[in-house]
Structure 1
Amino acid sequence: MLNTTDLISLARDLALPLAGFAVVTSASPGPVNVIAATSGANFGWLRTLPHVFGATLGFTSLILAMGFGLDHILRHTAWLHLALKVLGATFLTYIAIKLFMARADATTGARLQKAPSARQGLLAQWTNPKAWIVAATGIATYTRTGDAYIPSVLLQGIIFTFICLPSIGAWALFGHAAKRPLASPKAIHHFNVSMAVLLLLSVVGVFF
């Protein structure tokens, strides 16, 4: 067991590099952020908050699961790793297709039927190949051995929670800010299609 002094020293050593890693990976374009921006443009920032909170909780739970054994299982079960990638890619492709098919007439305004829920945000992270790669990389790179292992895993969960929330929220704000330029049904339809293409490219990038 680490004493208080050791825990403070561990946090001091890992906090800054972990925060940098979390900012780069959380704020960069990816499936979950694309969904947040699209929802912000279609439904506004407040109605996108459940997705933001759900996605944050989803990634935190994923990185903790990785730290407490899932990573070990995936390293020794190649077919399961591939299956999870395919499942995630399928789910995200389904979302992209829904964006492509969003109608652009005056009645529906090219909008999706409803904003993504917290549960869908959580599911989006657990089926997001990028999230799996980031979580596995974080656990492999920023954990310490011995008694410091569990505290270093928990520290990652805490830091990613506080970084993911504003990062995903910023993408939702970006989409919300774009609502005025996208006021016409045709403009928001083109925005949805563009986000669908970006979403598909982010999925393809995981495999290639």
Structure 2
Amino acid sequence: MTLELLLAFVAFAFVTSVTPGPNNMMLLASGVNFGLRRSVPHMLGISLGFMVLVMCVGFGLGQVFEQVPALYTVLRYVGAAYLLYLAWKIAGSGAPDSTAGERGKPFTFLQAAAFQWVNPKAWVMAIGAITTYTPQENFLVNVLLIAGLFALVNCPSVGLWTVAGSLLRNWLRNPRVLRAFNIGMAVMLVASLYPIFADMKGIV
């Protein structure tokens, strides 16, 4: 892998990681509702779970989707259904110090890692990284390099959204304001599905 290709990939990894999407909307809401410290396992689960996804795509899972396109379509719709469920849960979250908030729990490491497998944006990012930035020469080594670098870039990028949420925490103590914020996050989470599914309908 050349230095130019490596730098281009790092830029790709940063932009795709830091821009709004299901993971970042959920981390922003988690930062508000549970704070930075309790959201760290969620952040790590996203980065390491995505790293495993990239490796699996590089080691052959992407070829399975090429041979059976319907499987990829089914996975996208399953992911969309799960995201709608998560949006509903976020919309119903309580204030940080309320009884409802105490009952709520942030994503665990394993839950966040498993979520990457039904996250449509994660699949688009993983397939794009392998097909565009992974040279065929020494392919397996390059897959490991791409997956590892993606995780290193991804964690602080998504962490910015958690920090932003935790900073907003003190301004959202009013249950009504927090309720409005959580509903807004739920709407944005649903809206984040549009660019991913638009191409399936021939819009893009």
Tell me if TM exceeds 0.5: yes
Pick aligned residue for 2:70 from 33, 56, 79: 79
Cα distance in structure 2, aligned partners of 1:131 and 1:187 = 31
Q: Name 1:119's counterpart in structure 2.
A: 110
Q: Name 2:197's counterpart in structure 1.
A: 207
Q: Name 2:171's counterpart in structure 1.
A: 181
SS of the counterpart of 2:169?
Answer: coil
* 8 Å CA contact 2:55, 2:144 repeated in 1: yes
- Say yes or no: does 1:169 pair with 2:159: yes
Structure 1 gaps of 5+ residues are: 1-9
> What's the C-alpha RMSD, in Å, of the aligned pairs?
1.8
Cα distance in structure 1, aligned partners of 2:20 and 2:155 = 15
Cα distance in structure 1, aligned partners of 2:185 and 2:129 = 27
Q: Name 1:22's counterpart in structure 2.
A: 13
The offset of 1:18, in angstroms, is: 0.8
Identity score, percent = 36
Cα distance in structure 2, aligned partners of 1:33 and 1:97 = 16
Show structure 1 runs of 4+ deviating over 3 A.
Answer: 106-112
The 5 Å alignment of 1:136-151 reads 136-145=127-136, 147-151=137-141
Cα 1:41–1:73 shift into 2, 3 Å: same
Pick aligned residue for 1:198 from 165, 182, 188: 188
- Say yes or no: does 1:88 pair with 2:74: no
- Say yes or no: does 1:68 pair with 2:59: yes
Number of aligned residue pairs:
198
* 8 Å CA contact 2:92, 2:179 repeated in 1: no
TM-score normalised to structure 2 length: 0.91
SS of the counterpart of 1:47?
Answer: helix
What is the CA deviation profile of residues 132-176 of structure 1, one whole-angstrom value per residue up to 9, with x for unaligned ones?
01111111101112x421122111111101111101111100100
Cα distance in structure 2, aligned partners of 1:68 and 1:100 = 38
* 8 Å CA contact 1:102, 1:112 repeated in 2: no
Q: Name 2:3's counterpart in structure 1.
A: 12
What is the CA deviation profile of residues 67-96 of structure 1, one whole-angstrom value per residue up to 9, with x for unaligned ones?
000010001101101111011111111000
* 8 Å CA contact 1:41, 1:175 repeated in 2: yes
